Amino acid sequence: MNETFDQPGKVRERDGFDVDALRKHLSVHAQELPQVVELKQFGRGFSNLTYGLTAEDGSELVLRRAPPGVQIKSAHDMGREYRILSALGPHWDKVPKTRYICDDASVIGSPFYVMDRVAGVILRAKWPAALDTSAEAMKRASCAAVDTLVEIHQIDLQVTGLHALGKPEGYIGRQVRGWGERYLAAKTDDIADVDTLVRWLESHMPRESGGTLIHNDFKYDNMVLSAGLDSVRAVLDWEMATVGDPLMDLGTALGYWVQADDPDLFQVLRFGPTHLPGSLTRIEIVERYIKVSGRNVDDPLYYFVFALFKLAVVAQQLYKRYAEGLTEEPRYALMIEGVKSVSRMAIVAIERRSISP
């Protein structure tokens, strides 16, 4: 396989499970699948766990599971994510083909599903040294990402049957209230910037721009790109997808897009090489989105600020796990600094009335 392609590594000890139990289960309940001979693990995320399965015939599959021991909710609902992928597959060629789902947690410790692997490049915070990251390549990658986001927002909800996935009316208000409640539930420190953000978001809600399928976690490390970075082969991690305002989804993408001239504290939160020369800036992302989609984006500031607020809340939730002694991982201990830096960046954006630094 191309050495620039995303490759799984050794399974982390805390994330391991009984592979023999998986083999036995699949041999009975998914006889059409080839026998698994090797298990590895992808990435190092904070949510659902992803594994690479090598079969006896040399084919490759991917297994997704909820973290063991968590209470099943929307963020870890394997059945919901599986149904979304299965509904999209016949109508859009940028999702992996689903193969099997198991909701019996006793098999490997949590519900899981199996899908085909889509080989390609996943641009993470660290990328393969052999990868072409020239200015030309990074422009191709960022343009392909924006164009794919537009494609998601143009998917026919009725044809795919995904119209019942969410309620677009009142979506922005529900999101602001919901994430505000999540912050209060996870709060450990008094951070004035976060309180200011909540008040600003509540008092500056824009008119809704309609309802489409939205991914809600659209960033480089949830995309599989071609080796030349000129096209997106697949979009992954649909656990947070719903039907809602597409401009909120654009805002989420902007919130993840750390550019070269952003403050140093924001740079450590990069999910991919969005800062490299040739990459579109956030303003250029909005301009391309408007051009390709034909949608009006009169003022992207609100959507960008809300995306940063969400990042601050997620960081706060992760820090609370550390503060309560549920994890000893050093990266969780640093999350409170992430809350402060992201919320400060959102306040600066409001003061400058701009999504640029």
What gap in Å lies between CA 175 and CA 309, rounded to an integer?
A: 11
Q: What is the pLDDT of residue 328?
A: 85
- Residues 311-339 have a mean pLDDT of 92
CATH number for 58? 3.30.200.20
Looking at the structure, tell me whether residues 49 and 193 fall in a common domain. Answer: no
Looking at the structure, tell me whether residues 93 and 175 fall in a common domain. Answer: no
Q: Is residue 335 domain-resident?
A: yes
Looking at the structure, tell me whether residues 295 and 330 fall in a common domain. Answer: yes
Looking at the structure, tell me whether residues 170 and 249 fall in a common domain. Answer: yes
Q: Is residue 33 domain-resident?
A: yes
Q: Which of 40-44, 207-211, 284-288 has the lowest mean pLDDT?
A: 40-44
Looking at the structure, tell me whether residues 329 and 215 fall in a common domain. Answer: yes
Distance of CA 308 to CAs 190, 258, 313, Å?
Answer: 18, 11, 9
Q: How many domains does the chain have?
A: 2
> DSSP string of 141-209?
HHHHHHHHHHHHHTS-HHHHTGGGG---TTHHHHHHHHHHHHHHHH--S--HHHHHHHHHHHH-PPPP-
Q: Is residue 187 domain-resident?
A: yes
| pTM as predicted | 0.94
Helix (H) or strand (E) holding 250: helix 246-256
Looking at the structure, tell me whether residues 204 and 70 fall in a common domain. Answer: no
The pair of structure tokens assigned to 245 is 């305002």
Q: What is the pLDDT of residue 264?
A: 87
Q: Is the pLDDT of residue 108 over 50?
A: yes
Query: Which of helix, strand or coil describes residue 78?
Result: helix
Q: What is the pLDDT of residue 22?
A: 97
CB 68 within 8 Å of CB 11: no
Average pLDDT of the chain to the nearest whole number = 94
Q: What is the pLDDT of residue 331?
A: 86
pLDDT, tens digit, for every residue of 17-43?
Answer: 999 999 999 999 999 999 999 999 997
Task: Residue 219: give the domain boundaries.
Answer: 135-352
pLDDT, tens digit, for every residue of 136-178?
Answer: 999 999 999 999 999 999 999 999 999 999 899 999 999 999 9
Looking at the structure, tell me whether residues 58 and 188 fall in a common domain. Answer: no
Q: Is residue 130 domain-resident?
A: no
Chosen domain end from 85, 116, 147:
116
Looking at the structure, tell me whether residues 94 and 158 fall in a common domain. Answer: no
Q: Is residue 265 domain-resident?
A: yes
Q: Is residue 128 domain-resident?
A: no
Query: Which of helix, strand or coil describes residue 71?
Result: coil
Pairing type for strands 212-214 and 112-116 reads unpaired
Looking at the structure, tell me whether residues 144 and 235 fall in a common domain. Answer: yes
Looking at the structure, tell me whether residues 109 and 155 fall in a common domain. Answer: no
The pair of structure tokens assigned to 236 is 């992954």
Q: Band the pLDDT of 305: cuts 50, 70, 90.
A: very high
Query: Which of helix, strand or coil describes residue 22?
Result: helix
CATH number for 242? 3.90.1200.10
CB 219 within 8 Å of CB 209: no
Q: Is the pLDDT of residue 70 over 90?
A: no
